[in-house]
Amino acid sequence: MNLKVGLVGLPNVGKSTIFNALLQKAKAEVANYPFCTIEPNMGIVSIPDERLNEIAKKEGSAKITPAFIEFVDIAGLVKGASKGEGLGNQFLSHIRSVSAIAQTLRCFEEEDIVHVEGEVNPLRDAEIIELELILADLQTIERRMEKAVKQAKSDKNALFEIAVLEKAKAHLEEMRILRHSISDFTLEELNFLEKTLFLLTLKPIMYIANIGEEDLVNPQGNKHFRALKAKAEIEGIPIIALCGKVEAELSSLTENEREEFLKAFGLKEPGLYQMIREGFSLLNLITFFTAGPKEARAWTIKRATTAKEAAGVIHSDIERGFISAEVISFEDYKKAPNFQKAKELGLLRLEGRDYILEDGDIVYFRFNV
């Protein structure tokens, strides 16, 4: 399942610092100048999930294997990127390869760190990025339109393409982000725009507000964050407030040191944990679990996956020989000492191949090959 979340933003907003903290090691270069990152950095990050730890403890599992998500640190985008400014289309192509966007926006003031636009203003920065993505999508559509028009005389599918392209182009020319206009398109039209053209403004997005250390306890006290949150709420965009500098410090501490550090700020967990989970959600993913003495494991599937399809995520033989699935929700599982006792108490359900798995389901697959 090749699903990635791309960290996108202007230069010097803290993307690489946050990315390094995600990986808990300094993989991406961090420096106080634009275009410090040129080639995208990629890293696999485990999903923090206390449910898995509880399952492993109850089942006495010798090994714990979490679910994972891939993050990509993409070089800074600047005004005019769609016309080749900065490193231009090279960056835009990297964004095209991800499935969701974590738009990182600077909400902290610090004179020693230059801002490419001269002053801190996350609303302006968000608008710059949105405009460049719109212009890039318009270029993609215009190129595809030229090809479709040439093919229209001999290919009926080209007529469908032209109609969809014209509709999408009309939205973009009005400076409208396509993900805000999904209801205007049929499922077939959206599939074409998403899976054939990989349009940037259709990708799901969240805002990462990089705030200062002094605003960690109360992000609402930061005027930049307040303004950005208001925009996010109007547009239905998830927003996470974190301090990249603090997250970088946290990533280098032991577990006990981290707990003390968080306690000093009155925080329950690192902000990156929220970011990881939100990225997982943006990709429309859920988790199901399998557990036993050898291993407790979290598995990643798309929402609306059937039991038979989920079995194939573990092994194709299990999917091919699928008979049924013994399923218990995590909430019901908490009522019993372990899986076997839950079964004895009648808390498990026997489900068929078409059962749609829910997030947190614990599953034992019956199969015969």
pLDDT band at residue 110 using 50, 70 and 90 as cut-offs: confident
Beta strands 322-328 and 349-351 are antiparallel
CB 328 within 8 A of CB 349: yes
Cα–Cα distances (Å) from 59 to 56, 67, 333, 338, in that order, read 5, 18, 11, 6
How much of the chain exceeds pLDDT 90, in percent?
66
Question: Which spans in 24-104 are helix H?
Answer: 50-59, 89-96
pLDDT band at residue 90 using 50, 70 and 90 as cut-offs: low
The dihedrals phi and psi of 226, each to the nearest 5 degrees, come to -60, -45
pLDDT band at residue 78 using 50, 70 and 90 as cut-offs: low
Q: What CATH superfamily classification does 4-282 receive?
A: P-loop containing nucleotide triphosphate hydrolases (3.40.50.300)
17 labelled ligand-binding: yes
Q: Which H/E stretch holds residue 365?
A: strand 362-367
pLDDT at 182 over 90: yes
Q: Where are the domains of the chain?
A: 4-282, 304-367
Mean pLDDT for the stretch of residues 249-253? 88
What whole-number distance in Å separates Cα of residue 255 and Cα of residue 244?
19
pLDDT band at residue 233 using 50, 70 and 90 as cut-offs: very high
Give the model's pLDDT for residue 116: 75
32 labelled ligand-binding: no
pLDDT at 106 over 70: yes
Give the model's pLDDT for residue 94: 79
Reported as a single tens digit per residue, the pLDDT across 23-51 is 874 343 333 333 334 455 788 888 889 99
Which parts of 218-336 are beta strand (E)? 239-242, 285-291, 295-302, 322-328
What whole-number distance in Å separates Cα of residue 14 and Cα of residue 12?
6
Sheet containing strand 41-46, edge to edge, reads: 41-46, 68-73, 4-8, 100-106, 205-210, 239-242
Reported as a single tens digit per residue, the pLDDT across 51-73 is 999 999 999 999 999 998 888 88
16 labelled ligand-binding: yes
pLDDT band at residue 255 using 50, 70 and 90 as cut-offs: confident
Question: Is this model's pTM higher than 0.85 or not?
Answer: no
Q: Compute the half-sphere exposure of residue 78: CA atoms within 13 Å on the CB side of its CA.
A: 15
Mean pLDDT for the stretch of residues 271-294? 92
Q: What CATH superfamily classification does 304-367 receive?
A: Beta-grasp domain (3.10.20.30)
284 labelled ligand-binding: no
Between residues 95 and 225, the one the model is more confident about = 225
Give the model's pLDDT for residue 83: 58
Give the model's pLDDT for residue 85: 46
196 labelled ligand-binding: no
Q: Which two tokens stand for residue 214?
A: 């002094």
pLDDT at 292 over 90: yes
pLDDT at 209 over 90: yes
Between residues 44 and 134, the one the model is more confident about = 134
Residue matched to tokens 């307040």: 226
Mean pLDDT for the stretch of residues 116-138? 90
Q: Which of 43-47, 81-85, 177-181, 353-357 has the lowest mean pLDDT?
A: 81-85
Q: Which H/E stretch holds residue 186?
A: none
DSSP 263-291: HHHT-SS-HHHHHHHHHHHHTTEEEEEEE
13 labelled ligand-binding: yes
Q: Which of 16-20, 84-88, 314-318 has the lowest mean pLDDT?
A: 84-88
* Position 64, amino acid: I
Mean pLDDT of the chain: 88
What whole-number distance in Å separates Cα of residue 178 and Cα of residue 304?
24
Sign of CA dihedral 217, 218, 222, 226: positive
pLDDT at 358 over 90: yes
Name which of 61, 54, 69, 67 is nearest 22 in CA terms. 69
